[in-house]
Structure 1
Amino acid sequence: PRASREGVGFAETWWGNAWVAALEGGALDVKRLARGRGYAGRGQVDAITVTPGLVLAYVRGSRPRPYRVQVRLRTLGDADWERFLDAAADRPGHIAALLDKELPQSLADCGVPLLPGPGDLAPRCSCPDSGHPCKHAAALCYQTARLLDADPFVLLLLRGRGERELLDALSRLSAARAARAAREQGPAPLPGVRASDAFAPRRLPPLPPPLPTPPHPEQPPVYPAAPGGPDPFALDQLATDAAARAHALLGTGRDPVGELTLWQDAVRLAAARPGSGLTAGTRALYASLASAAGRTPAELARAVAAWRQGGLDGLTVLEEPWDPPAGRFDRARPLLLAADLPAFRPWRNRLTHPSGHVQLRLGREGLWYAYESEAGQDDWWPRGTPDLDPVGALTGLGTPDDL
Structure 2
Amino acid sequence: MTEHHEHDEERTFAALAPVRGRGFAQTWWGQAWLKALEDAALDSEQVKAGRRLARAGAVGGVSVRPGRVTAVVQDRDGTAHRADVLLQELSEDHWDRFLDMAVERAGHIAALLDREMPPHLVEDAATAGVELLPGLGDLEAECDCGAWDHCGHTAALCYQVARLLDQDPFLLLLMRGRGERKLLDELQVRSIAPAAAEQGAPDAVQDGLDAAEAYMAGDILPPLPDPPQLPAEPGLPPSLDTEVPPAPGVDPVALGFLAARTAREAHRMLAEALSPGHEQQALDDELTLHQDAVRLAAGDPEPGVAVRLARGSERDREGLALAVRAWRYGGVAGLAVLDEEWHVPAESLARARAALHAAWDEDERPRLRSTYNRWTVVDGTAQLRLGRDGRWWPYRRERGRWAPAGPAAQDPATALASVGADA
Give the TM-score normalised by the residue count of structure 1: 0.51
Q: Does 1:183 align with 2:200?
A: yes
* 1:9 CA displacement: 4.6
Q: Distance in 2 between matches of 1:212 and 1:155?
A: 59
What's the CA shift for 1:158? 1.2
Q: Which residue of 2 aligns with 1:170?
A: 187
CA contact (8 A) 1:46 1:58 kept: yes
Contact 1:72 1:122 in 2 (8 A): yes
Can you list the C-alpha shifts for 1:126-160, whole angstroms capped at 9, x where unaligned?
21445x32111111111111221122121111112
Give the deviation of 1:39 after TM superposition: 0.7
Pair 1:206-2:243 in alignment:
yes
Helix, strand or coil for the counterpart of 1:184?
Answer: coil
Structure-1 residue corresponding to 2:176: 159
Letter paired with 1:206: E
**Residue equivalent to 2:91:** 77
State the alpha-carbon separation in 2 of the partners of residues 253 and 149 from structure 1: 53
Task: Rate the CA distance shift 1:251–1:108 in 2: closer, same or farther, 3 A.
Answer: closer
What corresponds to 2:138 in structure 1?
A: 120
Deviation at 1:249, TM superposition (A): 3.8
Instruction: Note if contact 2:373-2:386 (Cα within 8 Å) is conserved in structure 1.
Output: no
| Separation in 1, partners of 2:183, 2:308 | 60
| Aligned counterparts of 2:251 and 2:374: Cα–Cα separation in 1 | 39
Inter-partner Cα distance in structure 1 for 2:50 and 2:306: 80
Q: In structure 2, how many angstroms separate the alpha carbons of the residues matched to 1:157 and 1:54?
A: 9
Question: Which of 123, 126, 137 in structure 1 is aligned with 2:154?
Answer: 137
Contact kept? 2:198, 2:204, Cα under 8 Å: no
Asked if structure 1 preserves the Cα contact closer than 8 Å seen for 2:326 and 2:404, the reply is no
Q: Alpha carbons of 1:179 and 1:45: their partners in 2 closer, same or farther (altered >3 Å)?
A: same
| Larger-Rg structure | 1
The one-letter code of the counterpart of 2:65 is T
Trace 1:81-96 onto structure 2 (pairs within 5 A).
81-96=95-110
Tell me which amino acid in the other structure corresponds to 1:175. Answer: I
Q: Greater CA deviation, 87-96 or 15-24?
A: 87-96
Instruction: Pick closer, same or farther for the CA change 1:251–1:74 going to 2, 3 Å.
Output: closer
Q: CA RMSD in A?
A: 4.6
1:33 aligned onto 2:70: no
- What do the CA deviations read for 1:273-319 (whole angstroms, capped 9, x no partner)? xxxxxxxxxx77977994469658xx75xx32x5459x999xxxx94
**Partner-residue secondary structure (3-state), 1:123:** strand
Unaligned runs of 5+ in 1: 1-7, 189-203, 214-234, 271-282, 322-379, 382-403
Distance 1:138 1:184, change over 3 A: same
Question: Which position in structure 2 is the counterpart of 1:42?
Answer: 56
Give the conservation status (yes or no) of the 8 Å contact 2:24–2:160. no
2:80 equivalent among 26, 42, 66: 66
Does structure 1 retain, via aligned residues, the 8 Å contact 2:143–2:154? yes
Superposed displacement of residue 22, structure 1: 0.5
Deviations 1:115-135 (A, max 9, x none): 1111111112121445x3211
Q: Which residue of 2 aligns with 1:98?
A: 112
Amino acid at match of 1:13: T
Contact 1:114–1:156 (Cα < 8 Å) also in 2: yes
Aligned equivalents of 2:179, 2:195: Cα separation in 1 = 24
Name the SS of the counterpart of 1:148 in structure 2.
helix
Structure 1: how far apart are the matches of 2:62 and 2:307? 73
Q: Percent identity?
A: 39
15, 25, 50: which one aligns with 2:29:
15
Number of corresponding residues:
251
Distance in 2 (CA, whole Å) between partners of 1:48 and 1:96 is 26
1:56 aligns with 2:93: no
**Distance in 1, Cα, partners of 2:307 & 2:146:** 93
Name the SS for the 2:35 alignment partner. helix
1:255-334 to structure 2, matched below 5 A, reads 257=321, 260=325, 290-291=385-386, 300=395, 303-304=396-397, 306-308=398-400, 319-320=419-420
Change (3 A) 1:250 1:23: closer
Please tell me the residue identity of whatever aligns with 2:186: A
Distance 1:284 1:64 in 2: 60
Tell me the SS of whatever aligns to 2:200.
helix
In 2, Cα distance between the equivalents of 1:133 and 1:312?
Answer: 76
Is the Cα contact below 8 Å between 1:103 and 1:152 reproduced in 2? yes
Partner amino acid, structure 1, of 2:90:
L
Amino acid at match of 2:188: S
